[in-house]
Amino acid sequence: MAKTIALKRVVVTGLGALTPIGNDVASYWQGLVSGTSGAAPITKFNPEKFKTRFACELKGFDPLNFIDKKEARKMDPYTQYALVASAEAVEDSGILSAGISPDRIGVIWGSGIGGLGTFQEETVQYVQDGFNPRFNPFFIPKMIADIAAGMISMQYGFRGPNYTTVSACASSTHALIDAFTHIRMGKADVIVSGGSESPIVEVSIGGFNAARALSTRNEDPATASRPFDKDRDGFVMGEGAGALILEEYEHAKARGAKIYCEIVGGGMTADAYHLTAPHPEGLGALHVLRNALQDAELAPTQIDYINVHGTSTPLGDVAELKAITQVFGEHAYKLNISSTKSMTGHLLGAAGAVESIATILSMMHGIVPPTINHQTPDEEIDARLNLTLNKAQHRKVDIAISNTFGFGGHNASVVFKKI
């Protein structure tokens, strides 16, 4: 006989952010509403020989302010970022002092690549040493994409579900949807979820250059990430992390937790079309939005704001907006739409978490962050859409969606509702 499960409600009770425009949630939000660009010349290595010589790096971040030096040496930066962002979220939520069984607290994280810098460093050293196989004993645990989730659990002793989702730029949105599903199915009371990425290294910039995915606007990096602009020429690489504490609603209410919002639905689809390009008609995006709305039991007319994937690539921006106009019909022109990647750059596997935080804060504050750097309209983009160009807009936001799409055709959308 089939087992019937009453789905539980899931809320967000903590946030943590480490981004190119702010190293905590408050400064990140200030950067968003003020339209700050995080793009500048690369400082992590000499980019002189590369087609792209700029990125959205973290500013003034020192992991040793948060992590013991000996322990930090055992971690790739993407894991350091995960620990810092999750620490802010955990503290914000108050779960450590709430007497919750650690068996009921999980960690579901997302990363598109994991420790790419560690892999590069060890490989270069191997070649420079004349192919002498003397590798760092921490090479593998520093590199693997699941280790951030493991390290967060070890930091706090959380023994619930623990793993990492890997779906390129959709990774941390998939992590959030998985965490949402686990809690509403009763498999955990609290889950630390989000994503982190540290991709500003030579092999990453060179590889994405080879794929013709990155902007090469080296003469003016601050305006290079320009979603929906006619002269957009690719995305700008970003780094950092975002963390959200997801919690079962009654559990959160019983302990008097601060509740930011409710997660009410999620959608996941595949383009099944191309390695790196979206379906030209945005079919994957169209279906993921419909799936998310169906899961949330919402009509398109109930949505106020969409934080779009909006990477600033010629094909991707157009395809996503085509999908939105098809799904939302006339209501598409009443929505606010914006791409916060215009400010943070593209954090790859961490993008979904960082952008979900922006989406949640827009509901809290009644302000939609802008799409900056827009100068020239693109005739392929419907001019009637409100893309929140260049300046933040005040608006009551009760229900909002965050979209992320990844290489390989992975699509994920998550729906947030004010509570």
Average pLDDT along the chain: 96
pLDDT 10s digits, 342-370? 999 999 999 999 999 999 999 999 999 99
DSSP state of 74: T
Closest to 169 measured CA to CA, from 403, 417, 331, 333: 403
- pLDDT band for 282, please (50, 70, 90 cuts): confident
Map tokens 């087992």 to a residue.
Answer: 3
Closest to 318 measured CA to CA, from 283, 267, 282: 282
Mean pLDDT of 49-71: 97
Residue 169 falls in the annotated catalytic set: yes
Are the beta carbons of 83 and 241 closer than 8 angstroms? Answer: no
CB atoms within 10 A of CB 203: 15
List CB contacts of 281: < 8 A, sequence separation 6 or more.
319, 322, 323
Considering 279, 309, 374, 410, which one is annotated as catalytic? 309
Considering 169, 182, 374, 410, which one is annotated as catalytic? 169
- pLDDT band for 1, please (50, 70, 90 cuts): low
pLDDT 10s digits, 205-260? 999 999 999 999 999 999 999 999 999 999 999 999 999 999 999 999 999 999 99
Position 289 scores a pLDDT of: 98
Considering 251, 279, 346, 410, which one is annotated as catalytic? 346
Q: Which amino acid is at 7?
A: L
Residue 346 falls in the annotated catalytic set: yes
Q: Which residue has the higher pLDDT, 4 or 404?
A: 404
SS3 for 233?
coil
- What Cα–Cα distance (Å) separates residue 90 from each residue in 72, 93, 95, 345, 364? 20, 5, 6, 25, 19
Q: Exposed, middle or buried: residue 40 (CB in 10 Å: 0-12, 13-18, 19+)?
A: middle
List CB contacts of 279: < 8 A, sequence separation 6 or more.
271, 273, 285, 319, 409
pLDDT 10s digits, 63-100? 999 999 999 999 999 999 999 999 999 999 999 999 99
The CA distance from 305 to 402, in Å, is: 9
The CA distance from 38 to 17, in Å, is: 14
- pLDDT band for 277, please (50, 70, 90 cuts): confident
